[in-house]
Amino acid sequence: MIRLLPATKLLRAAPCFSTIPRRALHVSCPRQADPWPLPHTQSHMDSTTSPPDAPAPEPLARPNESVEKMRARLLYQARKRGTLESDLLLSTFAKERLGSMSETEMKEFDKLMDEPDWDIYYWATEKKAPPERWAHSELLNQLKVHVKNEGRVVRRMPDL
C-alpha cells in the first residue's frame, strides 16, 4: 500500500517549495528566470557582447594547405559551428559562395570564422555594429545580403 505524506510534511521536506498553501500534491519549484534567453533579446545581446577592444583571434597556421583543402575545411567549419543559427547562416553562405571565392577571399572568410559565433550572427543580422577590423569588409557585406534573404529562399543545412 502506498502511503502519501500530508502536504505540510511534503512542503517542509523540499527546500525549494514555498510554505504558502497550494494544491496538496503540487511538487514543482516556483518558476525562475530563464537561464537561456532567446537571441535578439537585450539580455542575450548583453551577455554575449565581446569587449570592443578585444584583439582579433589568432588563426592557426596552415602553411602547406592547398586551395581545395582550404575550401573543404571552410565548408565543414561553416557547417559545424556550435550554434544552429550560425551554422545555418554560414553554411548556406559557404555553399553558395565558396566555389567562386579566390584564395584571398577564402583567407578572409577563414579569419571571419575565427570570430565568436554570436558576434558573427549579430554582425550579419545587423543587430550590432562590427568592430573596426570588419567594418569595411566586402565579405561581411555579402554575408549581410545573404542573411536578408530578399528572394525568400527556404534554406536548409547543406550535406557534408
| pTM for the whole structure | 0.67
Assigned domain for 132 exists: yes
Q: pLDDT of 33-90, one tens digit each?
A: 667 777 777 877 777 777 777 777 787 888 899 999 999 999 999 999 888 989 999 9
Q: Judge whether residue 156 has pLDDT over 60.
A: yes
| Within-domain flag for 139 | yes
> Considering the domain boundaries, does residue 5 fall inside one?
no
pLDDT of residue 160: 72
User: What CATH number did the domain enclosing 135 receive?
Assistant: 1.10.150.250
Domains held by the chain: number: 1
CA distances from 7 to 3, 4, 56 (A): 12, 9, 58
Find the mean pLDDT for residues 89-99: 94
Show the domain range for 98: 64-148
Q: Return the ∠ at Cα 12 (arms to 8 and 14), rounded to 5°.
A: 120
* Domain contains 50: no
Does the residue 118 lie in any domain? yes
What's the CA gap between 51 and 53, in Å, rounded?
5
